[in-house]
Amino acid sequence: MTITVKKTEITPEMKKKLGQLAAFIKSQTPLHDNQSLLMSVLHYIQILFGFLPREAMELVSEQLHIPTAHIHGMATFYNYFTLKPRAPYQIFMCKGTACYVAGGARVLDKLKEVLKTDIGENSPDGLFSLNITRCLGCCGLSPVMQINEDIHVRIVPEKIPEIIEHYKQKHKKKNIESTQTEIGGFEHPAQ
């Protein structure tokens, strides 16, 4: 799937990171032309933001004088770069035979409904990404679903809202704890 890179919401945190990016670009000296800096700058963005926001690519375009089309081409060529933020909770629903027979398809439908999203996409709140997998190696306990490192077994559709809510609460708690933590201390891999 090719995606359209939309504008990102400019939060104060985002603004701050863009400032950091601008400073980083200024600090670099190109080997021969600006083009030679592009790779390392994109790497920097991927690590700093966790993905390549459009605003960051536009900033690079202006500062390095490289057309946005070209930057976008580069960003999509390498699998290392992602154009969407990675959701903090990665859901993998098993669609292997055993899970399927045990009602996995209905569970998947319920997941789509509760998360308001589709396979391969993020939920609108950006917390979950819904994926399918072929076998998690515990067919005896099917249907099986993995959320980050947790394995959930013998799920029925009715249990889904509760499970999702659990992770939402968990995320809220984590966020409160980490509000004071600074994002600083970043080191660019190339440095």
Partner 1 sequence: MHKMLNIKIDGKPVKVPENHTILQAADEAGIHIPRLCYHPKLPAIGACRVCIVEVEGMKQYPPACCTKVNEGMNIRTNTPNIRMARRDIVELILDNHPRNCQICEKNNNCELQSLANTLGVREFRYEGERKKYNADSSFSLTRDPEKCILCGKCVRVCAQIQGVNALTYAYRGFKSTVMPAFNLPIQDSVCINCGQCTLFCPTAALMEKDSTEEVWKNLHDPEKTVIVQIAPAVRVAIGEAFGLPPGTDKTGATVTALRMLGFDVIFDTQFSADLTIMEEGHELIERIKQNGKLPMFTSCCPGWVKFCEHFHPDFLDNISTCKSPQQMMGALIKTYYAKKSTIPKEKIYSVSIMPCTAKKFEATRPEMNSSGFRDVDAVLTTRELIKMIRQAGIQFEKLADSEFDDPLGESTGAATIFGVTGGVMEAALRTAYEVLTCNELPGIDFKPVRGMEGIREATVEINDMKINVAVLYSLSNVNKILSEIRAGKRNYHFIEIMACPGGCLGGGGQPYPQGATDPLDKQFYQQRAQGLYHIDQNKKYRKSHVNPQISKIYQDFLTQPLGSVSHELLHTHYHVRTPRGITHISEETVSL
Which is nearest to 59 in space by CA: 41, 82, 46? 41
With CB under 8 A, what is the number of residues at the site for partner 1? 21
Scan residues 121-180 and list those touching partner 1 (CB under 8 A). none
CB of 83 to partner 1, least distance (A): 9
Is residue 144 helix, strand or coil?
A: coil
CB of 163 to partner 1, least distance (A): 33
CB of 95 to partner 1, least distance (A): 20
Tokens of 100: 């399927």
Tell me, rounded to whole angstroms, the distance of Cα 134 from its chain centroid. 21
Within 10 angstroms of residue 165's Cβ, the number of other Cβ atoms is: 11
Give the nearer residue to partner 1 in terms of CB position, either 54 or 168. 54
Contact indicator for 52, 75 with CB cutoff of 8 Å: yes
Tokens of 180: 């004071």
Give the nearer residue to partner 1 in terms of CB position, either 23 or 69. 69
CB of 181 to partner 1, least distance (A): 32
Element (H, E) at 171: helix 160-178
Paired residues of 131 in beta bridges = 92
Is 108 an interacting residue with respect to partner 1 (CB under 8 A)? no
Provide the mask over 54-83, with x wherever binding to partner 1 is found by CB under 8 A and - wherever it is not.
x--xx--xx--xxxxxxxxx--xx------
Residue numbers at the binding site for partner 1 (CB under 8 A): 1-5, 54, 57-58, 61-62, 65-73, 76-77
